[in-house]
Copies of this chain bind each other. A is one copy, B any other.
Amino acid sequence: MNITVEALRTFTEQVFVGMGCPQADAELAADVLVSADSRGVDSHGVARLAGYVRLLDLKRLNPRPQITVVHETPSTAVVDGNAGLGLVVAPRAMQIAIEKARNVGTGWVAVRNSNHFGIAGYHALLATEHNMIGWTMTHAAPLVAPTFSLEKMLGTNPVAVAIPANEEPTFLADFASTAVAYGKMELLQRKNEPTPEGWAQDADGQATTDPNAVKSGGALLPLGSDRQHGSHKGYALGAVVDILSGVLSGANYGPWVPPFATAGFMTADEGVGVGTGHFVGAMRIDAFRPAQDFKNNMDVWIRRFRNAKAVEGQRVLIPGDPERETEALRRHQGIPLHPTVVKTLEELGARFGVPLRVPL
């Protein structure tokens, strides 16, 4: 089933209102979530809406949070998300970072007591509207084994960096610190097909092609896959994201990061901090050099890379290209929803009295 971006956004917004969110928060949360679907990152879009509802049912989500700044300096802040939706807390934190960058050149905000925030790239892009470079990081529940570890100690811990250009579209790096997103494993689970080696290890830490490895004692592998190909680098990157998101903010960290929305409910006592954490930043370009000069140079950078001689039948992409191309397509053709996703959305619709309308 295909649905228009607008219809899916309206439906999602109404579910958030049904969950008790204020109207403005519901609009923002729906925009973040549906932007993932628009951009082809289906694993982070409305497929997760039911997860946010489960968080609410588990009383781990506060639909009407008082988001507060608990400490700040001219270029930094720590924000307490009051157990609100990460979809709402993260953009709020980024607005604070942008304001600080306006005043003193850069702004950096560590967030604690939040929840899953959707796609990292959405929040990083907010800064580019102000001629700033945007940074977003978040940790997540442990699925990843550091090099040589049998235990899952880190989440897929993504980093996003958004950099504006002039005539060319915005450069947007947005990537997990793992070899592969867990969503790609799930696709192969449904089809019962093996994965390539280098995506996951089994319960003994050995290479495996079992798509169910992570569910049966195994773990996702850091970017680099194994020691010989630099998995210690992916592990180090994921660790930095975890420390900035968790330790610097006063959230949980490492293996204590609470699960997104599985049945397992983690009480505060079991943790080492408060909820889930993020780290966002904004750097005003003209705090370094004139924004127009920089953006013209970014055009040169992007064109040179895009025109690099490529392997037969391929082209060299700029980070952000694939998602932008999908977005252009789906704006016209609508967003294809998997039948299982349609089913969960219909269930949510029934619960909150919101019909899922307007298939394309």
Contact = CB atoms under 8 A, between A and B. Distances in A.
Interface stretch (A12-20, A51-59, A260-268, A310-318): A310-318
Interface stretch (A73-81, A84-92, A330-338, A347-355): A73-81
Among A133, A196, A229, A255, chain B packs the most CB atoms within 10 A around the CB of A229
A302 to B, nearest CB: 10
B229 A179 contact: yes
A243 B153 contact: no
A294 B247 contact: yes
The interface residues of chain A, by DSSP majority, are classed as: mixed
A230 B223 contact: yes
Given A230-B179, A300-B272, A236 B319 contact: yes
A287 B179 contact: no
A137 to B, nearest CB: 12
Contacts of A309: 149-151
A180 interface: yes
A244 to B, nearest CB: 8
Nearest to A152: B308
Contacts of A11: none
Given A148-B311, A173-B239, A311-B148, A108 B106 contact: yes
A184 to B, nearest CB: 10
Interface residues of A, number: 87
A237 interface: yes
A110 interface: yes
Given A180-B229, A247-B297, A305-B153, A71 B288 contact: yes
Interface string A206-244: 000000000000000001110011101111110110111
Given A106-B108, A180-B230, 16 more contacts: A74-B103, A76-B283, A76-B284, A78-B288, A148-B317, A171-B239, A175-B230, A175-B232, A199-B229, A225-B225, A232-B319, A248-B294, A249-B289, A250-B289, A253-B297, A254-B305
A11 to B, nearest CB: 32
A198 interface: yes
A174 B233 CA distance: 8
Contact of A175 (B73, B74, B233): B233
Contacts of A236: 173-175, 319
Interface in A246-305: 247-250, 253-255, 272-273, 283-285, 287-289, 293-294, 297-298, 300-301, 304-305
